[in-house]
Structure 1
Amino acid sequence: MVIRSVFDDVDIPGQSIYDFLFAGLTEAELGRTAFVDGTTGARTTYREFVAQVDAAAAGFAARGLGPGDVVALHSPNSPAFGVVFHGLLRLGVVVTTVNALANGAEVARQLTDSGARTLVTVPPLLPAATAGAEAAGLAAGDVVVLDGDREGAAGHASLADVVGQGRGAPLPDVSFDPATHLAVLPYSSGTTGRPKGVMLTHRNLVANVVQNAALGLRADDVVPAVLPFFHIYGMTVLLNLALHVRAALVTLPRFDLEQYLRVIAEHRGTYLFVAPPIALALAKHPLVGSFDLGSVRAMMSGAAPFDEKLGHAVAARLPGCRVLQGYGMSEMSPVSHTTPFERTDISPGSIGLLLPNMTAKIVDPATGAEITQPAEGVSAPGELLCAGPNVMVGYLGDDEATAGTIEPDGFLHTGDIVTVDAGGAFWVVDRLKELIKYKGYQVPPAELEALLVAHAEIADAAVIGVPDEEAGELPKACVVRAAGSSITADEVMAYVAGKVAPYKKVRLVEFVDAVPKSAAGKILRKELRR
């Protein structure tokens, strides 16, 4: 049974993301605040922001970049991130966003796989960025630093240098088909395996912004932007959606609870986009009571499962705040479900309703039979499959993984087990996919397992997620020692920590006699979770 959205379909403009967001700006909108730098207080109007975007586009064009080229953007949140991101998209360049916590080897892997010609970063991330760039064969001149005046950035072009190169030059006349031309290439493990490049077109991004109108974001909203723009959630739902409705974004480079609360209070933040660990802090941390958060009218949680009790706890702590939940994955640009702002009858534990223009199936993973949406009550559980204009083209250079994720009829496997009720509200009740979500970040078990078994004192290993109230899940390694080895849990954790980004670290270790596997060699993770 195909389940259809309760919303009417919406029109999706056939424009590039740049034209969609900025071509229709009115004189009044140009004077509105687009960005506030949460660390300095500096404000940027829409007029100033678009001028900076155009100047960056001209500068990157002067460096020889154009449609189809790939540029890696490796930076925490700042107004300059938005300038570079949209300047590159204006040129038809494909932007692959790199996690700000990635180490040199991880940066190199993404640069190589994506075919990036240039890496844009910030001075604090230069050690990992330059190590990755060198390993991927990029020259020092191919690394651009957003703030070139900072210590440690010597020898690299700055964004100011790039803009200077394009100063006075006309913007290139770029033409491409938004329906097929790639815009961004974030990396995701999907339902299983190592990170893969998710190919998203301009139409994918435009569609998901239009589809998310149900969130009720308004021009008078002030949005504290702490969720990273390099993550598809921050990219679409914070950066692009806020710009589309002409709201103001207050950027923060990382999550620090006291700083976050101060920004909300000082700038009168109205709409919070969070992951569950931030929601938990808002519900329970004593610091919250020290700040005036009365301006907050809504909080949307995504990126990881959100407990109904936690939703009620946040609502109790922030009177007048509407607590909502959404659902998605990078492969869907990313949102497929959300709780409409006005639907107070939907539990905060539900992931909400299918977005406009979307359809879904719920399939019994054991039999492949499609599960029917009931006329009353709640359906039986099954794997969620989704189709719509926001679904990716596929995985870069991996036809096998693409075919295993997207069915011939266009339905994408999510790997999550859901139920649906008669009114069209969905709940996530389990997960087929192996991916671990640590504080909203994706931790692919296969990547850690490959690292572990490369250790001379480890014969075999499997990694699973263990529920944790604060983090969502903790990566736990189940390790088989090599013959004669006496390696300790602390040594295992230190070994992994030295080779991965901080969020990917193994947090728990259990030594086992053997890793349970199927006849086909697939790790039986459910047995390890018992």
Structure 2
Amino acid sequence: MAVITSPHTSIEIPDLSLYDLLFGSLSDEDAARTALVQGETGRAVSYGALKQQVDHFAGALSARGIGSGSVVALQAPNLPEFVTAFHGILRSGATATTVNSLYTASEVARQLRASGATMMITVSALAQNAVVGAEEAGFSTERIIMLDEDGIHPSLLTLLGEEHEAPDPQIDPAEHVAVLPYSSGTTGVPKGVMLTHRNLVANTLQLEGLLPVDPGAPIQAVLPMFHIYGLTVLMNFGLHRRAEIVTMAKFDLSEFLRIIQDHQIRVSFIAPPIAVALAKHPMVDDYDTDSLISMLCGAAPLDESTASAVSRRLGADLRQGFGMTELSPVSHLAPYGDDRNPLGSIGPAVANVECRVVDPATGEDVELPQEGESAPGEMWTRGPLVMKGYLNNEEATFATITEDGWLRTGDIVTYNTGGWFTAVDRLKEAPGRAGGGAAGA
């Protein structure tokens, strides 16, 4: 067995809930910092206010019978309220199942039934599908919570105004499912991915030192937080680092560039379609993007020429990573400022992660050369970021995770003895990735 270990120093994963990691040690200085800014309006929320909102929302959910063993659905665009709702759900001891904002009513209803959700949290702009889907799944008016006001359903402000104390759920971080996103893979059959508090805590800490996200630094959150990439890398890691997270409800190039300019964004997280626009659209030259020092592209592969063009045009260090919903999601990342990793590569594995490159035809490990690049093979990954399994689907779980803990990613990679991996293809009928791309972080 040819096991490739991470070049990064191993880290200790604390036995904490995600809430305790992100909010348990909030200092007075950090409480006064700005946590979230709605990019479109400039409305801001401090870390101290966010923590209080999370606690009160958790208390309101608890008063409505939500707690350990409950599943609460959350379907909303990137807004400060999304963060309050998500972490309030987890603070109550419940599991959050995040729902794609583009889902039809029938798709919403299907996920609610499959996940066992008993409450739906959404916004009025998505009501046509969210509310109809929830009602189709049997939810009463009182079990549908609006993050804004629609005059029909209970609102976030109403729940926060009740000022209930947060409960103190006793959970095992290694076993308790924090979030239940759904991954379709190539089969078109959505599967609930059980990610524990330990999975999310581990992956948040595994990003330390790889991205220039510092306390008070404005970072741009346009990629959806209902997706595991946005949820872990933008939201949770941003909060952990005490950054200023500037949200965007949807992508619009002029608004994207204006927010970089007006909010002095230092780090932006993008996907390949945004990279292509940044590389080619003349509008880019109309905005001041000098504050931007780093961009991370994930969710699908980005070719080296486009990556180079974006980096040159914006004067920002652009890197790629690899991830899957089943990996919480980031298993590989080309570190900021490390020129040893080619722009087209997904970099080395993050700390505490082991990898193998396996020939899909033989099941044997690909021979690793003494110099240069290996033959291609399927990447297998092992570490504290690997999901607990698929909800109510032992067959799919056993097909994806081996008895000794290796997760078969379904992505074909090569390994270079310089220390980096490159994603080159995709196996058919393989588990879902974070966003559907071989280089998806």
TM-score computed with the length of structure 2 as normaliser: 0.96
Correspondence for 1:368:
363
Alignment of 1:363-512 (within 5 A): 363-434=358-429, 441-442=435-436
* CA distance in 2 between partners of 1:139 and 1:442 (Å): 34
From 197, 200, 218, give the equivalent of 1:202: 197
Correspondence for 2:289:
293
Letter in 2 for 1:340: P
* Higher Cα Rg, which structure: 1
Shift of 1:193: 4.1
Correspondence for 1:280:
276
SS at match of 1:72: strand
Stretches (4+) displaced over 4 A: 434-438, 440-443
* CA distance in 1 between partners of 2:232 and 2:435 (Å): 16
* CA distance in 2 between partners of 1:365 and 1:324 (Å): 28
**1:251-289 CA-partner distances (Å, limit 9, x unpaired):** 110001111110010000010111111111111111100
Correspondence for 1:523:
none
Correspondence for 1:346:
341
Letter in 2 for 1:19: D
Shift of 1:64: 1.2
In the alignment, is the contact (CA less than 8 A) between 1:387 and 1:410 conserved in 2?
yes
Alignment of 1:167-316 (within 5 A): 167=163, 169-190=164-185, 192-213=187-208, 214-316=210-312
From 141, 145, 154, give the equivalent of 1:157: 154
Instruction: Describe the shift of the 1:9–1:217 C-alpha distance in structure 2 as closer, same or farther (beyond 3 A).
Output: same
Letter in 2 for 1:89: L
* CA distance in 2 between partners of 1:359 and 1:47 (Å): 38
* CA distance in 1 between partners of 2:115 and 2:88 (Å): 19
Shift of 1:373: 2.7
In the alignment, is the contact (CA less than 8 A) between 2:185 and 2:436 conserved in 1?
no
Shift of 1:182: 0.5
SS at match of 1:384: strand
In the alignment, is the contact (CA less than 8 A) between 1:189 and 1:435 conserved in 2?
no
SS at match of 2:207: helix
**1:325-375 CA-partner distances (Å, limit 9, x unpaired):** 000000000000001113112111000110100001111111111013322
- Asked if residue 14 in structure 1 is aligned to residue 15 in structure 2, the reply is yes
Correspondence for 1:318:
314
In the alignment, is the contact (CA less than 8 A) between 2:373 and 2:415 conserved in 1?
yes
Instruction: Describe the shift of the 1:437–1:280 C-alpha distance in structure 2 as closer, same or farther (beyond 3 A).
Output: farther
Correspondence for 1:482:
none
Correspondence for 1:450:
none
Instruction: Describe the shift of the 1:251–1:189 C-alpha distance in structure 2 as closer, same or farther (beyond 3 A).
Output: same
* CA distance in 2 between partners of 1:279 and 1:188 (Å): 24
SS at match of 1:47: helix
* CA distance in 1 between partners of 2:351 and 2:418 (Å): 15
Question: When the two structures are aligned, how many residues end up with a matched partner?
Answer: 436
Shift of 1:434: 4.9
* CA distance in 2 between partners of 1:233 and 1:434 (Å): 22
SS at match of 1:36: strand
Alignment of 1:328-347 (within 5 A): 328-347=323-342
SS at match of 1:305: coil
Q: Which blocks of at least 5 consecutive residues in structure 2 are unaligned?
A: none
RMSD: 1.7
- Asked if residue 92 in structure 1 is aligned to residue 93 in structure 2, the reply is yes
In the alignment, is the contact (CA less than 8 A) between 1:215 and 1:338 conserved in 2?
no
Q: Which blocks of at least 5 consecutive residues in structure 1 are unaligned?
A: 444-471, 473-530
Correspondence for 2:63:
62
**1:301-341 CA-partner distances (Å, limit 9, x unpaired):** 0110111111100111112x111100000000000000111
**1:32-63 CA-partner distances (Å, limit 9, x unpaired):** 11011111111111111111111111111111
Letter in 2 for 1:182: V
Q: Quote the sequence identity (%).
A: 50
Instruction: Describe the shift of the 1:414–1:249 C-alpha distance in structure 2 as closer, same or farther (beyond 3 A).
Output: same
In the alignment, is the contact (CA less than 8 A) between 1:59 and 1:164 conserved in 2?
no
* CA distance in 1 between partners of 2:73 and 2:288 (Å): 39
Letter in 1 for 2:69: G
* CA distance in 2 between partners of 1:291 and 1:3 (Å): 43
Shift of 1:8: 1.5
Correspondence for 1:75:
76
In the alignment, is the contact (CA less than 8 A) between 1:144 and 1:159 conserved in 2?
yes
Shift of 1:157: 0.8
TM-score computed with the length of structure 1 as normaliser: 0.80
* CA distance in 1 between partners of 2:168 and 2:27 (Å): 23
* CA distance in 1 between partners of 2:86 and 2:207 (Å): 21
Letter in 1 for 2:75: H
